[in-house]
Amino acid sequence: MNYQETINWMFNQLPMYQLQGASAYKKDLTNVHLLANHLNNPQQNLKCIHVAGTNGKGSTSHMLASILEEAGYKVGLYTSPHLKDYRERIKINGVEIPEDFVSEFINENKSFFEAHDMSFFEMTVGLAFEYFAKEKIDIAIIEVGMGGRLDATNIITPLVSVITNIAFDHTQFLGNTLEAIAFEKAGIIKPGIPVVIGEYTPETKPVFLAKAKENHSEIYFASDLVSVNYASDLIGDYQVHNKKTVIQTISILNSQKEFTIYETDIKSGLLSVMKNTGLQGRWQQLGEFPKIICDTAHNKNGLEIVMQQIQKEKYDTLHIVLGVVNDKDLNEILPLFPKNAKYYFCKPNIPRGLKATILQEEAQKHHLSGTIYHSVSDAYIQSKNNSTKNDFIFIGGSTFVVAELPLNKGI
């Protein structure tokens, strides 16, 4: 199979959470251990940082990668989901994994994948570990897909474990209390390995402390230990928490004396995250007159912060292009959105996308008024056509909405 045929096979024939939801979730690590053994355990040859959390783990992972790149290291970065191209998930120093490597890996191991009913996510994790090991990287930043304890990435022994924060998301898998979700995320804490907690609540802190004590792991609460005066090209208000988490993690790496990262590396790395790593969709500006911002925030915690930042903007009229997935709790997120905006309701182009007609009906119950559009693109174009230079356009509600935007055609 060539690259496109390989990707089609992966997407269409195997379960994948971002398309299917619950049917793609596996409740143990048996398969990924089988796969790792089949590949001769490439993860054992990697030095890693493991990053979990409800929100911010993508930004945190990319910031860490950028800083380490600035320090002169060969850095592997594994994240999910992708926005435009599957290969965004696996990068070395900002360069995506070659198409040929993806095709050859899948073709060589296809019979094994089929025999053991490997999920899309398990295959992708195996691909990342294999690629990073063969390329002899200095360090890998590995982002958890969902949860932590049962996530396919959780077969590594990292130098540092990182948990950005805990909020309600994926409750059908992770539990419907903050304590339960924290327990799943804390599953990445390993014996004797230090752990950095980005943010905590009265409900989650005891869970982290208990797990760290059980594993004899040093625990660092970054929000209490770090003050941030570093600028970044990631300008969302929520990035202040992620920067604290990153700086604490870098401090631990330095103390372990396996890596040397100077303050100049931190400064330049934080200012060059998008350039160094290709990160997109985090309070990203796509236009100036009118100002156009997109953001991948999609749960209550993330959207609250984004809506607060919108309120700080000055504009004549606010236009919001909005789409969500069909398992989203609309009664939880729709009250967060401003009532004085013009809404452009749309459906992200994936099977899990919620029909725009349903979204409009539910939004009207919360006094949000707008028009239905056949696609994200149509909604986005119409929002620009309806705007004057002093207006403000926001596009979001789902990672998959942002994925359909022309992100490389910004200001």
Residue linked to tokens 């056949």: 374
Residue 72, helix vs strand vs coil: coil
Q: What's the rounded Cα separation, in Å, for the pair 199 and 98?
A: 36
Residue bearing the bigger pLDDT, 17 or 232: 232
Q: pLDDT tens digits for 333-376?
A: 999 999 999 999 999 999 889 999 999 999 999 999 999 999 99
Q: Provide the pLDDT for residue 324.
A: 97
Q: What's the rounded Cα separation, in Å, for the pair 385 and 373?
A: 14
**For residue 18, what is the enclosing H or E element?**
helix 17-20
**Among 59, 56, 58, 62, which residue's Cα sits nearest to residue 75?**
62
pLDDT confidence bin for 174, thresholds 50/70/90: low
Q: Provide the pLDDT for residue 97.
A: 98
Q: What's the rounded Cα separation, in Å, for the pair 134 and 151?
A: 23
For residue 178, pLDDT over 80 is answered with: yes
For residue 315, pLDDT over 70 is answered with: yes
**What single-letter amino acid sits at 139?**
I
pLDDT confidence bin for 120, thresholds 50/70/90: confident
Give yes or no for a contact between 318 and 340, defined as CB atoms under 8 angstroms apart: yes
For residue 39, pLDDT over 60 is answered with: yes
Name the H helices within 39-84: 57-70
pLDDT confidence bin for 167, thresholds 50/70/90: confident
The angle subtended at Cα 78 by Cα 77 and Cα 83, nearest 5°, is 105
- Average pLDDT, integer, range 377-399: 97
Residue linked to tokens 């539990």: 175
Q: Which two tokens stand for residue 322?
A: 């909005």
Residue linked to tokens 């401003």: 338
- Rounded to the nearest integer, the mean pLDDT of the chain is 92
pLDDT confidence bin for 228, thresholds 50/70/90: confident
Q: Provide the pLDDT for residue 23.
A: 47
The torsion angles phi and psi of 288, rounded to 5 degrees, stand at -115, -40
For residue 164, pLDDT over 60 is answered with: yes
For residue 99, pLDDT over 80 is answered with: yes
Selection from 19-28, 116-125, 136-145 with the highest mean pLDDT: 136-145
Residue bearing the bigger pLDDT, 81 or 40: 40
Q: pLDDT tens digits for 274-307?
A: 999 999 999 999 999 999 999 999 989 889 999 9
Q: 243: how many CB neighbours lie within 10 A of its CB? A: 23
- Average pLDDT, integer, range 82-87: 92
